[in-house]
Amino acid sequence: EEKGRQLEAEINRFKQEAQNFQAQAQANGQAWAQQKGAELQRREQQLAQAQQALAQQLQQEGGTEMDSLVSNVKKTIKAYGKEKGYTYIYGSGDSNPSILYAEDKLDITKEMIKLLNDKYKASATKEEV
């Protein structure tokens, strides 16, 4: 938040300087105007890069916070399910309801991976023949 305020203040200073440049360009001559114009362009690019970097940082921090929140919710649901003796806890979402908790003994992931790998190996062997 502090970085955002600092960047915003820097952008406002730049805008003021750009406005002053317009007024001073005629009074100070073409050589000065070209030099100052190039300087302003460099600063504008630097500010744009800083703004983009800050936006990326904020997005990354938001993603990290969201991951932490989701992880915490999952842990809480798992603890609740175990404590209450539930076999499953279903989530109800608008687009895709899901299982939020299931007893560990009901996890068939390893068996499914083995089954799928065996099927793949069998089909690959048939194709080689």
Which pTM was predicted? 0.51
pLDDT at 1: 74
Phi, psi values for residue 89, rounded to 5°: -130, 120
> How confident is the model over 29-50, as pLDDT tens digits?
888 888 988 999 999 999 999 9
Q: What residues contact residue 89 under an 8 Å CB cut-off, 6+ apart?
A: 77, 80, 81, 99, 100, 101, 102
Each residue of 84-114: pLDDT tens digit? 999 989 888 767 778 888 998 888 999 999 9
